[in-house]
Amino acid sequence: MANTPTPKSADEADERKGWRFATKDGEAPGENVTPDPIHPEYKHIRELYFENNKDYGGRFTVPTLYDKKQKRIVNNESSEIIRMFYHAFDKLLPEKYAKVDLLPENLKESIEATNEWTYNDINNGSSLLVVLIMLRLLT
Ligand SMILES: N[C@@H](CCC(=O)N[C@@H](CS)C(=O)NCC(=O)O)C(=O)O
């Protein structure tokens, strides 16, 4: 997507502030890495989380689906965002893109099954995998 801010993982210099945006003056590897066009002054994803909730106490995760008009994160759950992308934004797209069906009826069952598997065994299973690798390395 054009003008999509691409958060980079935090490094030690970020003092563990989490995912960061490229900044105008900072290094920005990759042709699609740009500052956040809505808040070019923001350095970290966490600033989006605090924007409407100064007391936010959760994790500062990506992906985040951000509403530019309401200026707020509307969803940060990948399994829900991916389902919204099937059709929720069709009206905003040029016709040639809107008519691309990302959830064709004949593939619906297998797509949903793959989403389920990915969510349970990869997204939420990765912590378990790390623990298993660590146990293996320590024993
Ligand atoms: N429930 C979320 C979790 C997303 C998630 O854990 N994202 C990771 C990157 S893949 C993240 O941003 N981690 C940063 C952190 O936990 O501080 C989803 O699946 O969308």
- Decide: 62 in ligand 1 pocket, CB within 6 A: yes
Closest C-alpha to ligand 1, atom 6: 61
Range 33-51 average pLDDT: 91
d(CA 87, CA 15): 39
Q: Which of 49, 62, 128 to mutate to test the pocket of ligand 1 (most atoms within 8 A of CB)?
A: 62
Q: What pTM does this model have? A: 0.73
Q: How far is the CA of 64 from the centre of ligand 1 (A)?
A: 9
Range 8-26 average pLDDT: 67
Full set of structural domains in the chain with CATH: 1-76 (3.40.30.10), 78-139 (no CATH)
What pLDDT does residue 15 have?
Answer: 59
Q: What secondary structure does DSSP assign to the chain, as a single string? A: -TT----B---GGGTT--SB---SSS---STT----SS-TT--BHHHHHHHS-TT--S---S--EEETTTTEEEE--HHHHHHHHHHTTGGGS-HHHHT--SS-GGGHHHHHHHHHHIIIIIITTHHHHHHHHHHHHH-
- Decide: 18 in ligand 1 pocket, CB within 6 A: yes
Residues across the chain? 139
What pLDDT does residue 12 have?
Answer: 43
Higher-pLDDT residue of 139 and 121 is 121
- Decide: 32 in ligand 1 pocket, CB within 6 A: no
pLDDT digits (tens, 9 = 90+) for 68-120: 999 999 999 988 998 899 999 999 999 999 999 999 999 999 999 998 888 88
Give the atom of ligand 1 at the shortest distance from the alpha carbon of 124: 19
What pLDDT does residue 33 have?
Answer: 81
